[in-house]
Copies of this chain bind each other. A is one copy, B any other.
């Protein structure tokens, strides 16, 4: 009864490693998938594969097409989606991914600091569960197997 978990959210810190290590520590039978977490690689991938683009907008657009393909493939296979918001970045793509996951009936856990409760109130209300820390999310994943 292995489950696949997609880790949506910012790629500027190492929150995913923390999730994965803590899940491994508790021997939870989970497979984690995620977007490209090397930020420079993620931003550059369009031009790396498709060649130089005429301006920054098209540079971004080609990178996004490849990153969106990656997100869609893995999210389609996921049983659970975790969306993580930190205080520093806008992360509109995380909100978009969470909105998409909820519309596809993927059970979704939102992790956000209490300080973000107001701007994330609609997403929090739509997510299946909202927590404030990675440890709380891990507790929920462990609870699946009790």
Enumerate chain A interface residues (CB-CB to B < 8 A). 1, 3, 31, 33, 36, 38, 41, 45, 48-50, 54-58, 60-61, 63-74, 76-77, 79-80, 85, 89-93, 95-100, 102-105, 107, 109, 114, 117-126, 128-132, 136, 139-140, 143-144, 146
Q: Are B103 and A67 in contact (CB-based, < 8 A)?
A: no
**A60: which B residues are within 8 A, CB to CB?**
117-118, 121, 124
Q: How many copies does the complex hold?
A: 8
- At the interface, is chain A mostly helix, strand, loop or mixed? helix
Task: List chain B residues, Cβ under 8 A from A36.
Answer: 143, 146
Indicate the member of A33, A114, A139 with the most B CB atoms within 10 Å. Answer: A139
